[in-house]
A and B are shown apart, each in its own frame.
Chain A
Amino acid sequence: MSGIKASAASLPVFSTGRVYAAIKPILWLTLGLAVIEATVVLFEIRPYYLPRPSAIAANIVATPGAYISGLWRTVLETALGFVAGSVFGVAIAIVFHRWTLLRELFFPLFVVSQTIPVIAFGAVVVLWFGNTLFAKAVISFYISFLPVTVNTLLGFNSVDPRQVQLMRSFGAKDGQILRRIYLPAALPQLFVALKLASSLALVGAIVGEWFGDTTGLGVLLLQAMYNENVVGIWATIVVSACLGMGLYSLVALAERRIVFWGNEQ
C-alpha cells in the first residue's frame, strides 16, 4: 500500500505537463462530443441527418460483436495489402534504380496506371482470386504500392553521386552502397508515401468488400445503407475513422522513431 502511495505522490512532480499533454486531446474530444450532443438535442435535429453521439456509442456497445469482427477482418486485409505493397514498392524502386532500361520501358506505364481509377479493378480482382480475404488484400496492395515506388525513386535521386563514388573507391559493394547510402536517403520520402499508402490501403479494403463479402467494415456500411440505418452508418464511420487514424499514427510513430534526423524535403 505504502509503495503505491509513494509512487503516486512522486508522479505529478515531474510529469504534470506530460499528463496534461496526453489528456488534452481527450478533453477536447469530450468537449466537442458534448457540444454536438447538445446541438442535436436543442435544435431537435432528426437522427436521419445527425444522430446523437451517445446514440452512436450505444449502437456500438449494443452489438459489439459485429463491429469487432468487421474491424478485425478489415484490419487484416489492410495490413496484408499495406505490408505487401510497401515491400513490393521498395523492391520495384530498387529494380528500376539498378536497370535504367527497365525503368524507361515501364516507369511511364506505372505513372499512367496511377491515373487509373484502381477501384474499377475491384470486380475483376474479386473474380480472379475469389471472394476471399486475399482478394481484398490484393486490391489494397495494388492501390498502395505505386506511391511507395515513386517516392523511393525520388529519394534515391536525392543521393549525392560523390558519396557513392567515395564509397566505391573504398571498395564498397553494390549491396553495401544500397544499404548504407540509398535506403537511408530515401527514408524521409518513403515515409511520406507510407502515410499516404496506409490510408489508401484501408480504402482499398473497404471498397473491396463491397464486391461481395459477409464480414468487414465495408459490409457493415452497405448493410446499414440498405436498411437506411443512419445510426449504424455513423457507428461504422466512427470505427473506420478510428482505424484510419490508428494506422496513420502508427506509421507516423515509426517515422519519428526511424527517421530521427527529421524530414527535410
Chain B
Amino acid sequence: MMVSMNSETSRQIARGIAGALLLAAIWELSARGLKLPAYVLPSVSSILSGMVSDAGNLFAAAQFTAAEALAGYAVGCLIGMAAAVLITMIPAARAVVLPLATAINSVPVVAYSPLVLLWFGMGMASKIVMVAIAVSFTIFLSTIAGLDRVDRRSVDLIRSFGASRLAVLWRLRLPTALPLIIAGMRVSTVRSVLVAIVTEMLGAYGGLGWVIYQAVLQIDFVKVWAAIIVASAISLAFFGAISFIERRYVFWK
C-alpha cells in the first residue's frame, strides 16, 4: 500500500512489534530460567523448532482446516445475506423470524456439534455445516441491522422517482448496509476457524483440531502449541484479508 504513514502510526507499529518481542522474550526467559517442563510451558524456541521439524504434517492439517473454514464461511455468508434480504422484502415474516433468530443466536453453537457430527459423519461435511451455521447467524443479524439503517426519507425519495422494491434494495439499502455486513464478515472469520477446530476435536480424520486432540492424548505439548500457533496464523491471515477488502472497497462509511 502506498499510503504515506505519519509518525503517529509508525510509532504505534514500532511499539506493537516491541511489545510482541518483549512478550516472546519474557516467555522464553521464564520457560528456560525457571526450567518449566514442556507440559507447563515450552519455550518459544522449542515450539518453533517443533514447527519446523513437523512442518509437513502441520501444513497438511492447516490446509484441511482452512478448506473447511473457507467453504463453511462462504456458504454461511451467502445464506445469511440471502435470508436477511428476503426478510426485508417480506416485512410480515420479520416479526416472527427476527426474535427467533436472536434467540437461536444466543444458544452456544458448539451445542449443535454432536448432532451435526452424527448426521454428517466425521469427514469435512460436518465441519462445513457447523461453520456455515455459526457464520450465517452473525451475517444474518448484521445484514438486517445494516439494511435497517437506511433513512426512511431516502427510501421515500427514490420510490417517488418510480424505483421498484428491487431497485431500492440494490441502489440504496445494500450500499448503506455494506459497512455493517462486512464488519460482521470480519468478526465471522475468526469464528469460522474456531468452530472448525472445535468440531474437529470432537471427531475428524484430519485438521488442526484433530492434531491438537491427538497431541493432548500423547502428552506432546510442544505439538499442541505448534498447532495453536498455526491455527492463529490462519485466522490472522483470514482476518487480515477481509479487513484489507473492507478498507479497499468499502471506502464510504
Contact = CB atoms under 8 A, between A and B. Distances in A.
A245 interface: yes
Contacts, number: 128
A53 interface: no
B4 interface: no
Contacts of A230: 115, 118
A175 interface: no
B16 A117 contact: no
Contacts of B20: 108-109, 112
A120 interface: yes
Contacts of B213: 123
Interface stretch (B75-83, B85-93, B221-229): B221-229
Contacts of B12: 104, 108
Given A245-B103, A245-B107, A119 B221 contact: no
Interface in A140-168: none
B108 A49 contact: no
Contact of A124 (B99, B224, B235, B236): B224
A118 B194 contact: yes
Given A119-B201, A120-B228, A203-B108, 13 more contacts: A105-B22, A106-B19, A115-B232, A116-B231, A117-B232, A119-B197, A120-B208, A124-B221, A124-B228, A207-B110, A207-B198, A237-B112, A247-B106
Interface stretch (A62-70, A83-91, A176-184, A217-225): A217-225
A127 B190 contact: no
A119 B196 CA distance: 11
Interface of A: 25, 28, 48-49, 101, 104-109, 112, 114-121, 123-124, 127-128, 199, 202-203, 206-207, 210-211, 217, 221-222, 224-225, 228, 230, 233-234, 236-237, 240-241, 244-245, 247-248
7 contacts: A25-B99, A108-B19, A112-B236, A118-B194, A203-B110, A225-B118, A230-B115
Contacts of A210: 201-202
Interface residues of B, number: 52
The secondary-structure label for the interface of chain B is helix
A225 B107 contact: no
Contacts of B221: 124, 127
Contact of A244 (B99, B106, B225): B106
Q: Among A104, A118, A120, A202, which residue has the most Cβ atoms of chain B within 10 A? A: A120
The secondary-structure label for the interface of chain A is helix
Interface of B: 11-12, 15-16, 18-20, 22-23, 39-40, 96, 99, 103-115, 117-119, 189-190, 193-194, 197-198, 201-202, 208-209, 212-213, 216, 221, 224-225, 227-228, 231-232, 235-236, 239
Contacts of B108: 199, 202-203, 206, 240, 244
B48 to A, nearest CB: 17
A52 B211 CA distance: 37
Contact of B115 (A211, A217, A234): A234
A237 B115 contact: yes
Contacts of B96: 28
B107 to A, nearest CB: 4
A132 to B, nearest CB: 16
